[in-house]
Chains A and B, each alone.
Chain A
Amino acid sequence: MSFIHDTWFIFRRQVRLILRNPAFLTIGLLQPILYLVLFGPLLTNLPAGSLSGGSGTGGAAQAYRFFVPGLLIQLALFGSTFVGFAIISDWRSGVIERYRVTPVSRVSILAGRVLRDVAMLIVQSIVLILAGLAFGLRAPLPAVLMGFVYIVLVAIGLASVSYAVALLLKSEDSFAPLINSVIVPLVLLSGIMLPLTLGPGWLQGIARISPFRYIIDAMREAYAGHYFDTIVVEGLAVSVGLAAVFMWLGSRVFVRENA
């Protein structure tokens, strides 16, 4: 019980702080909206069938059924991996240590923050989906809800590990290049912008190592109205696994006696 109480406590504090500076919420959302507006239209003219996740209808509906899940994952990916920056300044201000000497559960110091990030992501995703609808996205409601399950799991995992790594490094200067060198290849290998099926065999081959690729495929499959096939289950397994492993790693770092 104390874990839930403490997590809720940290969550409320973090929400209050982010609301005091809502620019961060908007900035995080700006990039996917730009992609939606400036890149999305390029996809609507691709020949029917080149985008997976459609049923051959072609045009805007299919293009955005392909593209919006990708952007949602991108939002989760970038938003969550960069949260670690905030904890470096929290550590530097001494706030982390201050809470580590109170009876507040040390895992909650992490979990409350992750919860705040997930809440932020949900708000941003709703805005993005609404914008997508305006551009011509058509997807069944259950698919959209399933999509949230995926991105929430991705966000839980990545935010946990981001906080943990940042707290270990304690330096923005080493955290930024590390994040970039991990995230950019993973994003490129996930087929967020364009289907990987357009690429040569070797590219499709190495793309199998990116866990996000499975998650995006699963989301697109769901958006296309297929809820129970292998791709969907595979994606779910990968995202649950990712969240579980990274949460465990993150908790380890926060519970350590000398973090």
Chain B
Amino acid sequence: MAIIEASGLTRTFKSRKRTVHAVRGVDLTVGDGEIVGFLGPNGAGKTTTLRMLTTLLRPTSGTAVVAGADLLRDPLGVRKRIGYVPQAIGQTQGGTSDMCLVIEELLDQAEAYRIDRAEAVGRAAQLVKQLDLGGLDQRLVKTLSGGQRRRLEIALGLVHQPPLVFLDEPTTGLDPQSRSNMWEHIRALRGDLGTTVFLTTHYLDEADALCDRVFIIDHGVIAATGTPDELKRQVSGDVVTLRLNGATEAARSLLAVQPVVREVSVADEELRLTVETGEEALPVLLRVLDGAGITMSAISLSRPTLDDVFLTLTGRSLRDDSPGGRDAGGADGAAAELAGAGASAGVGAGSKE
């Protein structure tokens, strides 16, 4: 049974100077109880699609049924049945307030879903345990570590026990240990509660470790769908990188026709060849270049990296868009300054970590 059924979702942003087609046409189906990942470089349309599916953004066109409710006709129905954990990096943060206690955030979230107090207290206690937040209930959110805060944010998305939860970049900005710890929690969600998890990530290893199925999105369309293994098979193979003394284009056309070579690309004056088995391909490549009188200054052989996968599937490199960290210090400082000048700025000052 499908818990998300979307067809032809598009979203166009108009600014004074230009029109940006952030999402050009997304069709997707997610089955009940699946963990699916939306994988793509920054700006590919992941978050825009997620925001449409969670009623934060109205699609320019297209339709979707999310958790049994029609996205356009019954957004409130969608909101009641889904959990949403916003991304914790970039313009906006993960949705917790510095000056709240951990327990207050949990109980407030429960009240937002009209869960009565006694039940809310029970669920909060259970989530605190489930997400390793024990002993932190009475702490101010701003005193939590990055990993603790992220787990709290995930707990907030689960307070009403939704059948479907959206996690936007659940582990971006976390240290490696917190990341693998978070993966355990996400797996347990599905394992223990049967929750369907829809997450976005730009880490292939995350998609690999967590997801039953991956949608690769680029330039606002879904470029590939499949299990991580299926996707990896498409890009498997080793990468040979050659630095030549000129004649890069000639070498490219020569090597592109070799049976051992699956793909050729040129980047930074270097020739990158995807081959089935590097050890066997190297002698062949060297012989071809030698025969053509092309000399080289360097050669290297590597197993596919995350970057190679992206390059092959999306034609874009992941290296160009490393995500920013959690940083709201400057803005908070401004708010505090203005408050001092006679404004009432409510919650504001105080930086994270």
B-binding residues in A (CB < 8 A): 5, 9, 13-14, 16-18, 20-21, 23-25, 27-28, 30-31, 78-79, 82-83, 85-95, 97-104, 113, 116-117, 120, 170, 172-173, 176, 257-258
**Per a CB cutoff under 8 Å, which of A79, A98, A120, A172 touches B338?**
A172
What are 22 pairs between A and B in contact, CB < 8 Å? A17-B347, A23-B339, A24-B344, A78-B342, A85-B338, A85-B346, A86-B345, A86-B348, A89-B347, A92-B91, A94-B86, A94-B93, A97-B56, A98-B156, A99-B112, A101-B55, A102-B113, A103-B113, A104-B112, A113-B346, A172-B335, A257-B58
CB of B221 within 8 Å of the partner chain:
no
Name which of B29-37, B74-82, B283-291 contacts chain A: B74-82
Pick from B331, B335, B338, B344 the residue with the most CB of A within 10 Å: B344
Q: When A and B form their complex, what is the total count of cross-chain residue pairs whose Cβ atoms lie within 8 Å?
A: 143
Measured between beta carbons, the chain A residues less than 8 angstroms from B57 are 257-258
Question: Which residues of A have CB within 8 Å of B93?
Answer: 92-94
The 5 A-B residue pairs whose C-beta atoms are closest, nearest first, are A86-B346, A82-B343, A98-B95, A257-B58, A94-B95
| A116–B344 alpha-carbon span in the complex (Å) | 12
* Option from B109, B331, B339 in Cβ contact (under 8 Å) with A24: B339
Q: What's the Cα separation between A141 and B36 when bound, in Å?
A: 65
Q: Are A85 and B86 in contact (CB under 8 A)?
A: no
The answer to whether A85 and B113 have CB atoms under 8 Å apart is no
Instruction: Tell me whether B100 is interfacial, beta carbon within 8 Å.
Output: yes
Shortest distance from the beta carbon of B331 to any chain A beta carbon, whole Å: 6
Q: Is the CB of A20 within 8 A of B99?
A: yes
CB contacts (< 8 Å) of A27 on chain B: these are 339-340, 342, 344
Q: Is B5's beta carbon under 8 Å from chain A?
A: no
B208 close to chain A: CB less than 8 A: no
Cβ–Cβ contact A98 & B339, under 8 A: no
Tell which of A13, A20, A101 has the most Cβ of chain B within 10 Å.
Answer: A101
Interface residues as binary, B96-130 with A (CB distance below 8 Å gives 1, 0 otherwise): 11111000100011011110000000000000000
In the docked arrangement, what's the CA distance between A258 and B343, Å?
Answer: 28
- If A30-B342, A82-B343, A82-B344 touch, whether A172 touches B334 (CB-CB below 8 Å) is yes
Is B84 close to A, CB under 8 A?
yes
Bound-state Cα–Cα, A92 to B345, Å:
14
> How far in angstroms is the closest Cβ of chain A from B195?
16
Partner-A contacts on B (CB < 8 A): 54-58, 76, 79-80, 82, 84, 86, 88, 91-100, 104, 108-109, 111-114, 156, 328, 331-332, 334-335, 338-340, 342-349
One of B82, B111, B344 near A83 (C-beta < 8 A): B344
Tell me, rounded to whole Å, the shortest Cβ–Cβ distance linking B350 to chain A.
9
Closest to A173 in B: B334
Residues in A whose Cβ lies below 8 Å from that of B345? 24, 82-83, 85-86, 89
Q: Which of the residues A9, A78, A86 comes within 8 Å of B112, measured between beta carbons?
A: A9
Tell me whether A92 and B92 are in contact (CB under 8 A). Answer: yes
CB <8 Å contact, A103 and B97:
no
Q: Is the CB of B344 within 8 A of A101?
A: no
- Once A93-B98, A176-B338 are accepted as A-B contacts, the answer to whether A83 and B346 lie under 8 Å apart by CB is yes
Query: Closest chain A residue to B108 by CB distance?
Result: A13
Which of B54, B56, B328, B343 is in CB contact (< 8 Å) with A85? B343
- When the two chains form their complex, are residues A94 and B96 in contact, meaning their CB atoms are under 8 A apart? yes
Contact B331 A93 (CB under 8 A): no
Q: Which residue in chain B gives the minimum CB-CB distance to A32?
A: B342
Q: Is the CB of B86 within 8 A of A98?
A: yes
In the bound complex, CA of A27 to CA of B114 (Å):
35
Given contacts A9-B112, A97-B86, contact A103 B76 (CB under 8 A): yes
Q: How far is the CA of A139 from the CA of B91 in the complex (A)?
A: 51
B346 and A14 contacting across the interface, CB-CB below 8 Å: yes
Contact B331 A89 (CB under 8 A): yes
How far is it, in angstroms, between the C-alpha of A170 and the C-alpha of B112 when the chains are bound? Answer: 24
A100 to B82, CA, bound (A): 12
A46 CA to B56 CA, complexed, in Å? 58
Expressed in whole angstroms, the Cα–Cα distance for A7 and B139 within the complex equals 26
Please state if B339 and A94 are interface contacts (CB–CB under 8 Å): no
Which chain A residues border B91 with CB–CB below 8 Å? 92, 170
Residues of chain B contacted by A102 (CB below 8 angstroms): 79, 109, 112-113
Bound-state Cα–Cα, A26 to B296, Å: 73
State how many angstroms separate the Cβ of A176 from the closest Cβ of chain B. 6
B92 and A94: CB pair below 8 A? yes
Residue of A nearest to B141 (CB): A93
Alpha-carbon distance A128/B296, docked complex (angstroms):
83
When chains A and B are docked, how far (Å) is the Cα of A176 from the Cα of B342?
12
In whole angstroms, how far apart are the Cα atoms of A14 and B109 in the complex?
A: 14
Residues of the B chain whose Cβ atoms lie less than 8 Å from the Cβ of A85: 335, 338-339, 343, 345-346, 348
- Establish whether residues B58 and A90, one from each chain, have CB atoms under 8 Å apart when the complex forms: no
Q: A89-B332, A173-B334 provided; 9 other pairs, C-beta below 8 A?
A: A14-B346, A17-B346, A27-B342, A82-B344, A94-B92, A94-B95, A97-B95, A100-B56, A101-B54
Contact residues in B for A116 (Cβ distance below 8 Å): 346
Question: If A92-B93, A258-B58 touch, does A78 touch B343 (CB 8 Å cutoff)?
Answer: yes
Instruction: Tell whether, in the assembled complex, residue A172 and residue B331 are in contact, meaning their CB atoms are under 8 Å apart.
Output: yes
Indicate if the CB atoms of B112 and A18 lie closer than 8 Å.
no
Return the contact of A93 from the options B55, B76, B95, B349 (Cβ within 8 A): B95
Complex-state Cα separation, A120 to B344, whole angstroms:
10
How far, in angstroms, from A44 to B279 measured CA to CA in the complex?
97
Knowing A27-B339, A98-B84, the reply to whether A90 touches B56 (Cβ < 8 A) is: no
CB distance from B327 to the nearest CB of A (A): 11
Contact of A9 among B94, B104, B111, B347 (CB under 8 A): B111
Inside 8 A of A28's CB, which chain B residues have their CB? 342-344
